[in-house]
Amino acid sequence: MRQNKLNDTICAPATVPGTGAISVIRLSGPDAICIADKVLGGTLKGPDGNIVPGNTVKFARAADSEGRPLDDVLAAVFRAPHSYTGEDSVEISCHASPYIAEQFLMLLVAAGARLAEPGEFTRRAFVNGKMDLAQAESVADIIAAGNEASHRLAMMQMRGGFSSELKKMRDELLQLVTLMELELDFSEEDVQFADRTALTALAVRIRDHARRLAESFRAGNAVKNGLPTVITGATNAGKSTLLNTLLGEERAIVSEQHGTTRDTIEECLNIDGMLFRFIDTAGLRESAGNIEKKGIERTFEKIGSASVVLAVMDISSPFRRLSESFKAIVGHVDFKAQKLMLLMNKADLYASGDEGGFSSELMDRLARIYDRLQALLPEGVRIVKDVPVIPLSAKMSFGTDELRGVLADYMRSMLGDPDSVLVTNVRHADALRATAEALDRTIKGLSDGLPTDLVSQDIREAIHHLGEITGEISTEEVLGEVFKGFCVGK
């Protein structure tokens, strides 16, 4: 954005006209109050003829360009720096007619304002020091939050929880690199202002913290966009029936014919305030046609990128078929990064007759299935302990409540402490990884006894990457990329 544009007074609808009872038109800039006063017939002036003070709400009867009544509105006046943007601002609340909102925008532009660009209000808040870049990005996340968990993370970031951690890391590195570079001015006297042992310990601590934050992106992204949860298993194991039962609607086609699902079906579901993105996949079998084989290949791709893998087993199937499908699933699961859950479907076929009870036949069959499947798991991974097992009937909706509870508990374990910081932005995660890599070189340079100027250069690079996240180091290209996805009124 050109610097002279920052001196413009901008306007835009802050709400979507026609979707509620009220629309809000926002103005910001040096002439915001005067322009609004002109459009509203001088009602923003007090009895003495002076503009009303900030944090004042005034009633006004607005007219169109022909002098005809347009609407009765409320105008809230904010004086710099006590506004969202840090500039003089006015918010006009009018009725939510698209026509009325359009007329107000035309009047404001005719009076000297211009239409805002996407994200320009929040960008001005960043430029004017009302928030840093990470906080500015969280504004879009708050607007898009569709569940409690994503809203909590976005609010924490907007209030500076993430930024304060970055600032502390950056300040500690700045203090030490300053001492190291001071040594260069006394190089002939062979003095050290920065203790190398303490510096190494600090670099290790900050590197490890940067890595932990970068690694938290997996959980943070899952909270923001939904935890990717793949439903997989052999054909006719009940995968699509399970998806339909969880969603409470007939989303996937269910048929006794093998290979009905040939592509992935994705749907999101809110469980206990947390978003899960369920992915129904093509059934696994050997004798598949070309189209079905492509679907199975995609199944394995989805398993590899999922956070949770739900292996649906038809407990009435022959042991050999169960083992084959389970072996194929296990071969594509990374047990260090993913959670495998075993769903023993069609348990209704072995009901004992007692409400909610299992027959001895079912318990005996499950025990034999567990023994066979355990042999296919990597060393150290145990069924039940590491791979939760849930007997259920997707058709009868039996056991699905337990599944929801297990999934919610796993998501909560990923989130950890409710006050912990999770990275939800890929730009932040990339910058944190670059920070850790620069500190890796710092630690190695200190260990190898590299000259002070070379070591300090790596520390400066780490400081640079941390500054990129908060906007202390930014370019026009970065800012343009950050704000281009914002709505015009933000």
Q: Looking at the structure, tell me whether residues 337 and 302 fall in a common domain.
A: yes
Decide if 487 is inside a domain: no
Q: Looking at the structure, tell me whether residues 123 and 144 fall in a common domain.
A: no
Q: Looking at the structure, tell me whether residues 291 and 398 fall in a common domain.
A: yes
Residue pair 381/335 in contact (Cβ under 8 Å)? The answer is yes
What letter would DSSP give residue 52? P
Bridge partners for 390 per DSSP: 343
Decide if 287 is inside a domain: yes
Cα separation, 356 vs 347, in Å, equals 11
The parent domain of residue 68 ranges over 3-131
Residues 6+ away with beta carbon under 8 Å from 253: 240, 260, 261
Other beta carbons within 10 Å of 36 = 31
pLDDT tens, residue order, the chain (490 aa): 455 577 899 999 998 877 788 999 999 999 999 999 999 999 998 777 788 889 999 999 999 989 999 999 999 999 999 999 999 999 999 999 999 999 999 999 999 999 999 889 999 999 999 988 888 888 888 888 878 888 888 888 888 888 888 999 999 888 878 877 776 665 555 555 557 788 888 899 999 999 999 998 888 888 888 899 999 988 888 888 899 889 887 765 444 544 444 467 888 999 998 899 999 888 776 655 566 677 788 888 889 889 999 999 999 889 999 999 999 999 999 998 899 999 999 888 876 655 556 678 888 888 899 999 999 999 999 998 999 999 998 888 888 999 999 999 999 888 777 677 889 889 999 999 999 999 999 999 988 888 878 888 999 999 999 999 988 876 676 677 667 777 777 7
> Which pLDDT belongs to residue 254?
47
Q: What total of structural domains would you count in the chain? A: 3
Q: Looking at the structure, tell me whether residues 392 and 248 fall in a common domain.
A: yes
Other beta carbons within 10 Å of 173 = 23
The residue from 88, 115, 131 where one domain ends is: 131
Cα separation, 490 vs 473, in Å, equals 23
Residue pair 198/278 in contact (Cβ under 8 Å)? The answer is no
Q: Looking at the structure, tell me whether residues 248 and 324 fall in a common domain.
A: yes
Q: Looking at the structure, tell me whether residues 163 and 84 fall in a common domain.
A: no
Residue type (1 letter), 226? G
Give the number of residues written for the chain: 490
Global pTM?
A: 0.77
Q: Looking at the structure, tell me whether residues 307 and 433 fall in a common domain.
A: no
Helix (H, G, I), strand (E, B) or coil at 317: coil
Dmax of the chain from CA atoms? Answer: 91
Cα separation, 446 vs 174, in Å, equals 17
